[in-house]
Homo-oligomer: A and B are copies of this chain.
């Protein structure tokens, strides 16, 4: 651990270990974004020694935002649970599908509900955006569209993003990325992000 700290690879700082939520924003049981989230979680825990939380997006069930419901009942249970998962985190890695060239409505709806809590967990949260898609563009248009509401909420969205195209066949049986060039690209982004979060939380 000490060596790895010197190499800048550890996520230990201030006497504790960095806590990262890795969230695949997909309610489907089988999803390339879940594959990507699992792979990133493994990398962050193994290589950087982070404490990783890998929640299931489906557990955060909530109705479409409805101001009448909010006035009468409040924020739905799923939104409160998502907020709680994020509250203690040093960082969030989102694995977000692209729907129709943009953020998925389900994810935006979750963000909208969580943002109704005061304080909400997005302000000043360090977020890395990643996404996988079956097509060639790797959800990259969707990731740019996803930045907007998160930045509007005051999150520090890391400038580099990771879009994985042709994701259906991208993972091996052990869950790792088959293409070493793409793996190196992901390594570089994760290393930069972790160093950034460390500096930011430490400063």
A residues apposed to B, CB below 8 Å: 26-29, 31, 58, 61-68, 99-113, 115, 136-137, 140-141, 144-145, 147-149, 151-157, 159-160, 165, 198-203
Question: What is the chain B residue whose CB lies nearest that of A146?
Answer: B102
Residues of B close to A165: CB separation below 8 A:
136
B99 adjacent to A104 (CB under 8 Å): no
Question: What is the chain B residue whose CB lies nearest that of A153?
Answer: B100
Question: What is the chain B residue whose CB lies nearest that of A197?
Answer: B203
Question: Which among A107, A152, A202 has the highest number of chain B CB atoms within 10 Å?
Answer: A152
| Least CB distance, A55 to chain B, in whole angstroms | 15
Residues of B close to A101: CB separation below 8 A:
148-149, 151-153
A147 adjacent to B141 (CB under 8 Å): no
Knowing A27-B67, A27-B68, A66-B27, the reply to whether A103 touches B102 (Cβ < 8 A) is: yes
- When chains A and B are docked, how far (Å) is the Cα of A58 from the Cα of B165? 36
Residues of B close to A147: CB separation below 8 A:
147, 151
Question: What is the chain B residue whose CB lies nearest that of A148?
Answer: B102
A108 adjacent to B115 (CB under 8 Å): no
A68 adjacent to B104 (CB under 8 Å): no
A141 adjacent to B136 (CB under 8 Å): no
Residues of B close to A106: CB separation below 8 A:
64-66, 105, 109, 112
Residues of B close to A28: CB separation below 8 A:
66-68
Residues of B close to A112: CB separation below 8 A:
99-100, 104-106
Residues of B close to A111: CB separation below 8 A:
100, 105
Residues of B close to A64: CB separation below 8 A:
27, 61-64, 105-106, 109-110
- When chains A and B are docked, how far (Å) is the Cα of A101 from the Cα of B157? 15
Residues of B close to A108: CB separation below 8 A:
99, 102-105, 108-109
